[in-house]
Amino acid sequence: MDRIQSKRRSLVKAMGGGLAAVALPLPSLAASKQIVVSDPGGPYTVAYRKAFYDPFEKQTGIKVVSVARESQPVAQFAAMVQTRNYIWDVTTLTLSADIPFLEERGLLEPLNLKAADFPGLMPEALTANWLGVDVYSTVLAYRTDKMPKEHPRNWAEFWDVKRFPGRRSLRRNPLDTLEQALMADGVSIDQLYPLDVDRAFRSLDKIRKSISVWWTGGAQSTQLLQSGEVDMLSLWNARAQAAIDGKAPVSIVWDQGLYSIEGWGVPKGTPRAAEAREFVVFCGDAKRQAAFTDDLAYGPTNLKAYDFIKPERAALLPTAKDNLKGMRLPDPAWWQKNRQAVTERFNAWIIA
């Protein structure tokens, strides 16, 4: 019995020491709470650090560690949830390309947010599991030195190689490109869906020989425009703005643009879901969204942000009233259902 009691005292003493050893660091652990946020890197990280990461740290004491993600994060996102190996807690995801896939498979942490929580938020910028914070648009841009008097004002005129001769470029991707082909063939922007895929490819057949470059990356599209390798092309508005900021003679046509919404999603099951959700809510604030537009020529989803953006800067952003009115969002549900088949057909068409 004495031996047993002695062992018990030794065990309690050891446990007490162990508990003391565990308890001592707890205040410092609480003080060093953090989340890992992934974004596309480059100008995104600079703009988001200023608008979201640093202010959130200051307000909450939760450190934001930012990492650059892959250009297509869905596979990595799914793998994290399935293996429960969370290398980040929040990431940017695109409404049309990513959210339907992830929601259908239950891979997103529910956020339980309401539109009423964010006065001024675009209706499309909120789902049960995702909050959109910025908008970019695929637009038509052209070199003003090559077309000083007349220039294409829509996709039908971009397709008109006789009236507007010159070197052209389109994105090597069916998303946006099929919509542009249909608008060039006379389909109204508000009547695009469901896409008439056969008609779109017939329209692409008409322009195919006049496409000098099928671009695959945003930096490439800016370079094509800035260097003068092409005279007109379809590209993301911030990439066109980068050429303009680089003093290239370039102008943007907003009419018939196709906008996309990027925002924050949280991988289901991350142990830091509460902190991640707090961060997502923080990013819906109008004033916070206004701050990223100084460095990133994308539009805020909370339209009240324009109360804090200078008019000359607002004119360059996709969600400014005059720019947004002639654009639309590609249908996420249609692309979720048809993307694989259409992409396979597009890739085969390109190399045929």
* Residues forming beta bridges with residue 35, ordered by sequence position: 64
Contact 159, 255 (CB under 8 A): no
Is residue 208 within 8 A of residue 352, CB to CB? The reply is no
Taking the domain 136-259+331-351, which CATH number applies? 3.40.190.10
Beta-bridge partner residues of 267:
108
Strand segments (E) across the chain = 34-39, 63-68, 90-94, 126-127, 130-143, 168-171, 211-215, 232-236, 250-265, 299-300
**C-alpha to C-alpha distances, 335 to 130, 235, 303, nearest whole angstrom:** 18, 19, 26
What residues contact 23, with CB distance under 8 A and at least 6 apart?
none
Q: Characterize the bridge pairing of strands 168-171 and 211-215.
A: parallel
Summarize pLDDT for 93-127 with one digit per residue, the tens. 999 889 999 999 999 999 999 999 999 999 999 99
How much is the pLDDT for 32?
62
pLDDT band at 6 (very low <50, low <70, confident <90, very high): very low
Query: Which amino acid would we find at residue 301?
Result: T
For the stretch 305-343, pLDDT in tens is 999 999 999 999 999 999 999 999 999 999 999 999 999
List pLDDT tens digits, range 256-279: 999 999 999 999 999 999 999 999
The residues near 177 (Cβ < 8 Å, ≥ 6 apart) are: 170, 171, 204, 234, 346
Whether the CB-CB separation of 205 and 227 falls below 8 Å is answered with no
Mean pLDDT across the chain, nearest whole number? Answer: 90
Which amino acid does the sequence have at 162? K
Place of tokens 């000083």: 148
With H, G, I as helix, E, B as strand and everything else as coil, classify residue 225. Answer: helix
Average pLDDT over residues 216-222: 92
> Tokens 């909050």 — which residue?
131
Say yes or no to pLDDT of 14 above 90. no
Give the C-alpha separation, 168 to 185, whole Å: 17
Q: State the number of CA atoms in the 13 A half-sphere of 344 facing the CB.
A: 3
- Stretch among 29-38, 86-95, 204-213, 322-331 having the lowest mean pLDDT: 29-38
Give the DSSP per-residue string, 102-151. HHHTT-BPP----GGGSTTB-GGGEETTEEEEEEEEEEEEEETTT-SS--
- The per-residue pLDDT for 74 is 92
Per-residue pLDDT at 42: 86
Class of domain 31-135+261-324: alpha beta
Q: Where in the chain is the domain with CATH 3.40.190.10?
A: 31-135+261-324, 136-259+331-351
Strand pairing category for 232-236 and 168-171: parallel
User: Residue 50 and residue 47: Cα distance in Å, rounded?
Assistant: 5
What is the mean predicted confidence (pLDDT) over 8-29? 36
The pLDDT, as a whole number, for residue 66 is 96
pLDDT in tens, 137-195: 999 999 999 999 999 999 999 999 999 999 999 999 999 999 999 999 999 999 999 99
